[in-house]
Amino acid sequence: MRQLRYRLPRQSKQAFQFHRLSQAVPVPPLPHTMQSINRFLYGPTPEEKVRAWQAKLRAESRQLDREMRQLDMATNKARTTVKQLASKGDIKSARILAREVVRSNKQKERLSVSKARLGSIGNQLTQQMAMMKVTGALQKSTEIMKLSSALVKLPQISQAMREVSMEMTKAGIMEEMLDDALELDDDEELEEEADAEVDKVLFELTDGKLGVVGSVGTELPSLQDKLEEEETERTMEQYRQQLNGLLSG
């Protein structure tokens, strides 16, 4: 019996040959696949590390902005209460709360300086990226180490800055900080303000009439006066606790 053979059309034969050829020739991996493999084997690239650090610094900067806004709100309430206490002649309570206002002003200044330091580190890292195109590697920076050492002492961002500092140390940008550099310093100026600064706040909030409103009569306090004093004490304690919570971080 005669065997029948099926002949493929010319186009189908070419497609079949191309399919076999494509299977024989290996297809190079896509660029993003190579990046994933390199990241798995060698970790993030220096550029990726710098971008990650800068993102963390921006996040901590926004956190300080929130802290300062909350501090402003609490301080404004306390300043209003100081005026009310001074107008009633309760200079002792007004002075106590004015001391908290002085502390909050110093804390806001400290937060503002810390935010500027975060920005400086970010700028230093941007310069590192530019230099890396020439040198091929990240360079050690004493300025970044100095700024980081100051920032780890701020309770609000201490943990995040410790982590970033350790990563930058591994990358060779800075040396390992000593334990005494990482310890939080107790700023005595935040705990014991000079009387002159408290007097300055009182003078400002009372339009220079502190001596006038400070004169206290010799009459015995009435029941209404006692009730108002107790209410004032509760309000003042509330503001003090709120400010202390913000100041302690």
Which tens digits make up the pLDDT trace of 82-104? Answer: 888 888 888 888 888 888 889 89
What is the reported pLDDT for 215?
39
Residue 71, pLDDT above cutoff 70:
yes
- What Å distances lie between residue 240 and 44, 98, 126, 168, CA to CA? 47, 10, 42, 39
Categorize the per-residue pLDDT at 36 as very low, low, confident or very high, splitting at 50, 70 and 90. Answer: low
Q: Residue 65: what pLDDT?
A: 97
Of 56-60, 147-151, 194-198, the range with the lowest mean pLDDT is 194-198
Cα 56 from Cα 168, distance rounded (Å):
12
The residue with greater pLDDT, 224 or 65, is 65
> Tens of pLDDT along 190-213?
445 567 888 888 888 887 766 434
pLDDT confidence of residue 217: 38
Give the pLDDT confidence of 209-224 residue by residue, as tens digits. Answer: 664 344 333 333 443 4
| All structural domains of the chain | 42-184+235-248 (1.20.1260.60)
d(CA 108, CA 79): 15
Q: How far apart are CA 138 and CA 168, in angstroms?
A: 10
pLDDT score, position 218: 35
